Chain A
Amino acid sequence: MNVVVCVKQIPDPAAPPSLDPETHTLDRSGKLILDDSDAYGVEMALQLVDAAGGGDVTLVSMAPNSETGGLRTALAMGAAKAILISDPSLKGTDALGTAKVLAAAIRRTPFDLVLTATESTDGYTGTTPVQLAELLGVPSITFAKSVAVDGSTVRVERQTEEGFDEVSCPLPAVVTVTAGVVEPRYPSFKGIMAAKSKPVDEVTVADLGLDGQVGFTGARQEILDVTVTESRSQGEIVADEGDGAARIVAFLESQKAL
């Protein structure tokens, strides 16, 4: 079974984020790392291919520069190869444009299943995977908390407001996995060394035939302005001198919450 995992390389979430002052889009000019949310999809894919007894895990990623740092992390976990769509014209691409790019790239490789995170940590639009499924003409199951493949059927436990549903569909399909669906492995030293020589196929927007459909022109939406949100005023901050609980009780009483 061949599994494609869409992964995103994002600015380190631990560093303070900033907006490009001209375009108001997220500043991605610094070092990019593998989005933590994507490690779950990579691990899930490795386990499913193992269980199927054969096949490859292929990574697909999009970046405005030739960034591969995050891809190498996922390759070190065990993915076989990667397709990187890298092009300066990708800057400013919206969710649908991203889905078009990913769909065109995925069509270049055989796949039974496409795994993604439910949303990226930096942009969190959360619609790209389903847009991608529609463009590929395949079913999708989002918010998976468990995934199993049984012959040509994928079975998923999907989160709901009340609990979870059992949902299934035939392959090929797109499935989005939640954090915690599996425990991602740490790349081994051997894996890190092997990742350096694994193939990363770099393609451009023109290679995919998508000129004019991506970037700021393709996005068909604009940011009008950015304002600092009026912040809540800070209240009383006190060190606990053994009276912390009593202070909270008094506060709850003042709010008529008791």
Chain B
Amino acid sequence: MSVNTIWVVVEPSSGGITTPSLELLTAARGLAGAVEAISWGPDTASNAQVLGDYGASTVHDLGELGGALPGVPVAAGIAGLVASAGAPDAILIPASYDGRDVAGRLSARLDRSVLTNVTGLQDQGSLVSEHPVFGGSLTIKSRFTAEGPGIFVIRAKSFAAEPAGGAAAAVAPLAIPDTGATGTATITASHAEERTGPSLDEASIVVSGGRGLGEASAYSMIEELASLLHGAAGASRAIVDAGWVPYSHQVGQTGKTVKPAVYLAFGISGATQHLVGMKGSRTIVAVNKDRDAPIFSIADLGIVGDVHKVLPALIDALKNR
């Protein structure tokens, strides 16, 4: 038994394809002889060259979803394709908001189990997936034991996205079956938060704050430092839950996975929930008043001290350069 065919759920973004989708195409290309993409939105045809570059021979195009939340129609389309074309060995899905919806719907529709929080895949006759647990201190390897397709939900940045220079993917229209009551969730308006500087996902420097900042207003120092370093501002779950900053700033298990060149953590103790989202950073600097804080165990430079002294001094020093 070996891995022959992998389908990848490719999420469109304004004017292109999300980076995690390209990461999954790259990974699929290394594991299977045949890689096919499933995508939607108005721009699939114009994305065909990029999809081919990253290894997809075909893109099954669901077209525009008419404002529907993608999870239900995309899963229904994939289930239809399984019925008509036969099941692939695996279906890879990005661990995004919509990707998780697709995975859940598809799993129940096909009555197939799903493996989530995947950070690695290996071909050992069948696909074996890696999952970090307990804040990444342990790695679990899993596989499916029953008939496929195996549905894997994969965390961002688990693989590098690398083009291979293939021909444009063939575009094959894919019909969306009637989804009845399940497909009635509709997007009526979209709001983008104002953002200056690089995004948390892509910044080469990330400055994050946690409970140790003491109060919501102190987060402005995190933002100021991030701006001075041309980086992005992040946060621990604790202060997101407390309402100090929006969820979009959250780094960790339930938030974003970041791998910047330098990660600076101020007043973050380093709960496993947080560590799993940032321990892949190239270097880590931590400032915390508690010498026993878990964050220090992975820091390249740790300052045991008061963030209310170190942060303003650091901001001043950078302003004066």
Chain A positions 138 through 150: 1 when the CB is less than 8 Å from some CB of chain B, otherwise 0: 1111110100000
Inter-chain contact A139/B185, CB cutoff 8 Å: yes
Inter-chain contact A180/B241, CB cutoff 8 Å: yes
Given the known inter-chain contacts A95-B114, A179-B241, A236-B301, please indicate yes or no for A127 contacting B182, CB distance below 8 A.
Answer: no
A33 at the interface (CB under 8 A from B): no
Q: B145: which of A131, A163, A221, A226 is its contact (CB, 8 Å)?
A: A221
Q: A161: which of B97, B137, B297 is its contact (CB, 8 Å)?
A: B97
Inter-chain contact B183/A139, CB cutoff 8 Å: yes
Of B37-45, B102-110, B208-216, the one touching chain A: B102-110
B227 at the interface (CB under 8 A from A): no
Across the interface, which residues of A come within 8 angstroms of B302, CB to CB? Answer: 234-238
Q: Please report the C-alpha to C-alpha distance between residue A168 and residue B69 in the assembled complex, in whole angstroms.
A: 9
Inter-chain contact A127/B144, CB cutoff 8 Å: no
Q: Please report the C-alpha to C-alpha distance between residue A246 and residue B287 in the assembled complex, in whole angstroms.
A: 13
Q: Please report the C-alpha to C-alpha distance between residue A143 and residue B253 in the assembled complex, in whole angstroms.
A: 14
Q: Please report the C-alpha to C-alpha distance between residue A231 and residue B187 in the assembled complex, in whole angstroms.
A: 43
Of A61-69, A70-78, A190-198, A248-256, the one touching chain B: A248-256
CB distance from B224 to the nearest CB of A (A): 14
Inter-chain contact A139/B114, CB cutoff 8 Å: no
Q: Please report the C-alpha to C-alpha distance between residue A57 and residue B101 in the assembled complex, in whole angstroms.
A: 25
Inter-chain contact A226/B140, CB cutoff 8 Å: yes
Inter-chain contact B310/A248, CB cutoff 8 Å: yes
Across the interface, which residues of B come within 8 angstroms of A244, CB to CB? Answer: 287, 303, 305, 309-310, 313-314
Given the known inter-chain contacts A142-B97, A166-B189, please indicate yes or no for A24 contacting B140, CB distance below 8 A.
Answer: yes
B254 at the interface (CB under 8 A from A): yes
Of A81-89, A106-114, A117-125, the one touching chain B: A117-125
CB distance from B31 to the nearest CB of A (A): 17
Inter-chain contact A221/B115, CB cutoff 8 Å: yes
Chain A positions 164 through 177: 1 when the CB is less than 8 Å from some CB of chain B, otherwise 0: 11111110010000
Q: Which residue of B lies closest to A180 (CB)?
A: B241
CB distance from B183 to the nearest CB of A (A): 7
Q: Please report the C-alpha to C-alpha distance between residue A163 and residue B189 in the assembled complex, in whole angstroms.
A: 11
A29 at the interface (CB under 8 A from B): no
Q: A141: which of B96, B132, B138, B185 is its contact (CB, 8 Å)?
A: B185
Across the interface, which residues of A come within 8 angstroms of B189, CB to CB? Answer: 165-166
CB distance from B199 to the nearest CB of A (A): 9
Inter-chain contact A167/B69, CB cutoff 8 Å: yes
Q: Please report the C-alpha to C-alpha distance between residue A249 and residue B318 in the assembled complex, in whole angstroms.
A: 8
Q: B144: which of A145, A220, A238 is its contact (CB, 8 Å)?
A: A220
Across the interface, which residues of A come within 8 angstroms of B113, CB to CB? Answer: 94-96, 219-221
Q: Please report the C-alpha to C-alpha distance between residue A4 and residue B291 in the assembled complex, in whole angstroms.
A: 44
Given the known inter-chain contacts A139-B72, A221-B113, please indicate yes or no for A124 contacting B253, CB distance below 8 A.
Answer: yes
Inter-chain contact B262/A257, CB cutoff 8 Å: yes
Across the interface, which residues of B come within 8 angstroms of A19, CB to CB? Answer: 133, 138
Q: Please report the C-alpha to C-alpha distance between residue A161 and residue B113 in the assembled complex, in whole angstroms.
A: 27
Interface size on A, residues (CB 8 A): 78
Q: Please report the C-alpha to C-alpha distance between residue A179 and residue B250 in the assembled complex, in whole angstroms.
A: 12
Q: Which residue of A lies closest to B190 (CB)?
A: A165
CB distance from A242 to the nearest CB of B (A): 8
Q: B139: which of A124, A142, A167, A227 is its contact (CB, 8 Å)?
A: A227
Q: Please report the C-alpha to C-alpha distance between residue A118 and residue B101 in the assembled complex, in whole angstroms.
A: 11
Q: Please report the C-alpha to C-alpha distance between residue A158 and residue B284 in the assembled complex, in whole angstroms.
A: 32
Inter-chain contact B303/A140, CB cutoff 8 Å: no
Inter-chain contact B72/A237, CB cutoff 8 Å: no
CB distance from B37 to the nearest CB of A (A): 20
B128 at the interface (CB under 8 A from A): yes
Across the interface, which residues of A come within 8 angstroms of B291, CB to CB? Answer: 237, 239
A206 at the interface (CB under 8 A from B): no
Q: Which residue of A lies closest to B11 (CB)?
A: A161
Inter-chain contact A169/B186, CB cutoff 8 Å: yes
Given the known inter-chain contacts A161-B97, A163-B192, please indicate yes or no for A257 contacting B205, CB distance below 8 A.
Answer: yes
Q: Please report the C-alpha to C-alpha distance between residue A119 and residue B306 in the assembled complex, in whole angstroms.
A: 34
Q: Which residue of B lies closest to A169 (CB)?
A: B185
A130 at the interface (CB under 8 A from B): yes
Q: Please report the C-alpha to C-alpha distance between residue A115 and residue B317 in the assembled complex, in whole angstroms.
A: 49
Inter-chain contact B185/A221, CB cutoff 8 Å: no
Given the known inter-chain contacts A162-B193, A169-B184, A221-B145, please indicate yes or no for A235 contacting B314, CB distance below 8 A.
Answer: no
Q: Please report the C-alpha to C-alpha distance between residue A218 and residue B249 in the assembled complex, in whole angstroms.
A: 38
CB distance from A137 to the nearest CB of B (A): 6
B57 at the interface (CB under 8 A from A): no
Q: Which residue of B lies closest to A246 (CB)?
A: B317
Given the known inter-chain contacts A125-B117, A137-B181, please indicate yes or no for A240 contacting B309, CB distance below 8 A.
Answer: yes
Inter-chain contact A127/B141, CB cutoff 8 Å: no
CB distance from A157 to the nearest CB of B (A): 8
Inter-chain contact B299/A223, CB cutoff 8 Å: no
Inter-chain contact B116/A126, CB cutoff 8 Å: yes
- Known A234-B299, A248-B264; further 12 A-B contacts with Cβ < 8 A: A96-B108, A160-B190, A161-B97, A220-B145, A221-B143, A222-B145, A226-B140, A228-B138, A234-B298, A240-B287, A249-B317, A249-B318
* 17 A-B residue pairs with CB within 8 Å: A124-B254, A127-B100, A127-B116, A130-B71, A131-B107, A139-B184, A163-B190, A166-B187, A169-B186, A173-B185, A180-B240, A221-B145, A226-B139, A232-B279, A234-B298, A244-B303, A244-B314
